[in-house]
Amino acid sequence: MPGKIFRFGPTPEHRAKHLFVFLHGCGATSKSMIPIAFRFQARFPSAALVVPSGFAASEVDQEAQQWYSSRGLNDDNRLERVAAILPRVEALVRREQTNCSVPMERTVLIGFSQGGTVALEAVKQLPGLAGAVVAYSARFARLPQSGARLGSRIHLVHGEHDAVVSRVHAERAARVLAALHVPVTLDIVEDLGHALTHGAICLGSLRLLQGIYEGRRATLH
């Protein structure tokens, strides 16, 4: 049901050094993201995992959830719908940061499809919310404008044959972010549609690990 949140602490020998918040796609459930969360934790054993449910029941499947309405969704109203829920997203993330004693720099939003859009727009519109985003098969509701400042690393993973959210959106986002000097990676996965596979999940977690390592190395210079 909407509002349900699953929480998993780091492995017993670790204290929480990172906070990963997983945002599922439209018409799915928080449970669908738990296997993905555990695969990330295998690479980051000191990460606390938070897997919330979308804020509303799906309009297609009443047993599933969504973050914002997909009925009549188009390029003219997408940004407005996402912006309307961002205060709730921020409150959720801030609460979990406090509970886990993890700062924004070590907070990561990981989303698939609609959840990825929420993650991307959250760090675009709420600077200081999270240090990184891993967005699968997702797009910005509206691309960042010239002069925008994003303080997060962005990792985009997209299926080559995604017929729901075209890879073009990820390619455009990568170009715009690079022009804004935002650290960004883009991986187009061959022969993949609008789905999460083991390979795609591992690729996203690898890019996140590489981004964290690069950030640490930069502070040493």
**Residue 206 near residue 174 (C-beta atoms within 8 A):** no
Residue 71, token pair as written in the block: 């009925």
Confidence of residue 12 (pLDDT cuts 50, 70, 90): confident
87 CB neighbour count, 10 Å cutoff: 10
Identify the H or E element spanning 204. Answer: helix 198-219
The identity of residue 56, as a single letter, is: A
Helix pair 78-100, 114-125: axis angle to 10 deg: 80
Mean pLDDT of 61-74: 90
Structure tokens at 60: 């297609």
| Residues marked as catalytic | 113, 162, 194
According to the model, what pLDDT value does residue 1 have? Answer: 46
- Residue 48 pLDDT exceeds 70: yes
CB 106 within 8 Å of CB 122: no
Residue burial 18-28, b: 16+ Cβ < 10 Å; e: rest:
bbbbbbbbbbb
Query: Structural domain boundaries of the chain?
Result: 5-219
The pLDDT-based confidence of 216 (bands split at 50, 70, 90) is: low
* C-alpha to C-alpha distance for 55 and 57, rounded to whole angstroms: 7
112-135 per-position pLDDT tens digit: 999 999 999 999 999 899 999 999
pTM: 0.94
CATH number of 5-219: 3.40.50.1820
Give the tens place of pLDDT for each residue, 14-31.
Answer: 789 999 999 999 999 999
